[in-house]
């Protein structure tokens, strides 16, 4: 985080909180607002990805952790700022979802389901805040070269370096669009996958290698 801040020549102040713990997130948010006022932009970006298979009982814990982080983490991150932004009549809530939420990915069912839920949640929040002056932006990246993708045993088309992805996300938020896919090529891939009939999609993805599960 500090390296990214330096790369954009922007000073950074760090507040620690587990996004699964709403009390901890509210405390950090209130601490920030007491020092700096209501922010212009809040980005919900915390996320985890684990290989999961429903047939293994121990993977139920990975499902729970993934949903608590990827979905409830967004809720907890945005909650403290909604009322203050609405009162001010201005602000942006930007949620990082994923192209993985467009269709269910075998071996990554928890991740793709959580990102599908994130997309729907952000859409509902956008409509709830319509006319309030608070804008909600949904950002769906494709593959980004991070430790989370490093162990993926399958091709990752159009994968982006972290700094490049961050700059594209900033541009997408600044654009004013309510929904963005990064990079644009993944929007085409996602649209094509969405158009495939189930029978073809099933055959196409059935032999795909799975993300490693926790042992």
Catalytically active residues are 111
Distances (CA, A) of 211 to 59, 67, 111, 141, 208: 13, 17, 11, 18, 10
Return the closest-CA partner of residue 95 out of 41, 163, 156: 41
Mention every residue, 6+ apart, whose C-beta is less than 8 A from residue 13.
32
Residue 192 CB-half CA count within 13 A: 6
Give the span between the Cα atoms of 118 and 138, in whole angstroms. Answer: 9
């Amino acid at each position: 985080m500090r390296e990214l801040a330096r790369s954009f020549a922007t000073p950074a102040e760090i507040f620690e909180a587990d996004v699964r713990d709403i009390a901890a997130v509210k405390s950090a948010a209130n601490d920030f607002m007491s020092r700096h006022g209501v922010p212009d932009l809040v980005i919900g970006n915390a996320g985890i990805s684990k290989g999961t298979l429903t047939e293994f009982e121990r993977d139920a814990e990975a499902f729970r952790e993934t949903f608590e982080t990827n979905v409830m983490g967004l809720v907890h991150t945005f909650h403290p700022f909604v009322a203050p932004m609405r009162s001010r009549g201005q602000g942006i809530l930007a949620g990082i979802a994923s192209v993985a939420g467009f269709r269910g990915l075998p071996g990554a069912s928890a991740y793709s389901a959580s990102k599908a839920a994130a997309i729907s949640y952000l859409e509902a929040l956008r409509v709830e805040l319509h006319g309030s002056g608070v804008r909600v932006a949904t950002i769906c990246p494709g593959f980004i070269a991070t430790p989370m993708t490093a162990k993926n045993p399958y091709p990752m088309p159009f994968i982006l370096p972290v700094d490049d992805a961050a700059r594209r996300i900033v541009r997408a938020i600044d654009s004013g669009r309510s929904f963005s896919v990064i990079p644009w090529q993944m929007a085409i891939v996602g649209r094509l996958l969405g158009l495939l009939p189930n029978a073809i999609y099933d055959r196409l993805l059935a032999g795909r290698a799975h993300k490693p599960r926790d042992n």
